[in-house]
Amino acid sequence: MPLVTEDAVTEFDRIEIAPTVQGCLSKMTIMPGEQGGPVKYTLRAGEHRLDLNARLGRSLRLTWTGAIACTHCGRATKKSFAQGYCYPCFKKLAQCDTCIVKPETCHFDAGTCREPEWAERHCFQPHVIYLANSSGLKVGITRGTQVPTRWLDQGAIQALPILVVETRLQSGLVEVLFKEEVADRTNWRAMLKGEVEPLDLAAERSRLLTRLEGGLARLRERFGVDTIRVLNEAPVSFDYPVLEFPRKIVSHNFDKQPEVAGTLLGLKGQYLILDTGVINLRKFTGYEIAVS
């Protein structure tokens, strides 16, 4: 399973060195570091790309212009829904349905999917169930094409794919099973403070597969023996570019404070760590930002 996608490489090839740029935010592009080096971050503002690793230890200013554009249709909106959508798109797009967050509630077979063709492309493809260590042991799911992006977005210092299934519905049902034994959420404050001890993910995989053997067998009976397959991969680790972790978490919010500035001390997950506080840039997808 490749750790670097072709799209990610393309993003880094387009990095600019301009001192000031302006455009609508997209989630940061994150790539594993070369030969175990720090993870690489690129800020995306419209068509502009900025190397954030090179800005560590330097001042960074982000100013919201007051404009927000839907990331799907491009129309202006006064409020962003589901991290980047206008209200009409939020209501009509399948990617904004609750079954994306809770895939075990997939209703495609009931004929009520908002966009059946979109679902066939995105939901009926291999999904990976994984263990990660962002703020302690957690279970998660992602499309196979989103490895390792999903782990880096969550600020995981370790990750291990343990199962692969054929559809998103199956991944949701497997995740529900695992949630009986392990959490499925990240404590983002602990993640940003660097209060995370390494875990033996391979041992946790063996323990969980043994404890959940009966439940997995029942799901295989329902969907087919080969639909849920055990992976035998080695854990991977990530080192994030952080000069100093914050002792106390103070969150910046463009809706309350249109200008965010400070010395860039670190990058982890989709967060900027500044000496003045932290900000989750993914939360403000679609916001037009001037960066200097």
Per-residue pLDDT of the chain (292 residues; tens, 9 = 90+): 444 444 444 554 455 545 679 999 999 999 999 888 999 999 999 999 999 999 999 999 999 999 999 999 999 999 999 999 999 999 999 999 999 999 999 999 999 999 999 999 999 999 999 999 999 999 999 999 999 999 999 999 999 999 999 999 999 999 999 999 999 999 999 999 998 999 999 999 999 999 999 999 999 999 999 999 999 999 999 999 999 999 999 999 999 999 999 999 999 999 999 999 999 999 999 999 999 9
Tell me if residue 282 falls in helix, strand or coil: helix
Length in residues, the chain:
292
Q: State the pLDDT at residue 24.
A: 97
Asked if the peptide bond before residue 148 counts as cis, ω within 30 degrees of 0, the response is yes
Cα gap 83→196, rounded to integer Å: 27
Query: What is the SS3 assignment for 236-281?
Result: EECCCCECCCCCCCCECCCCCCCEEEEEEEEEECCEEEECCEEEEH
DSSP string, 22-63: EEEEEEEEEEPPGGG-PPEEEEEETTEEEESGGGTTSEEEEE
Q: State the pLDDT at residue 10.
A: 52
Q: State the pLDDT at residue 9.
A: 45
CA distances from 153 to 137, 162, 195, 224 (A): 16, 19, 17, 32
Q: State the pLDDT at residue 125.
A: 96
N- to C-terminal Cα distance for the chain?
A: 37
Q: State the pLDDT at residue 36.
A: 80
Q: State the pLDDT at residue 8.
A: 47
- Neighbouring CB atoms inside 10 A of 137's CB total 17
Dihedral sign (CA 138, 143, 148, 151): negative
Q: State the pLDDT at residue 4.
A: 43
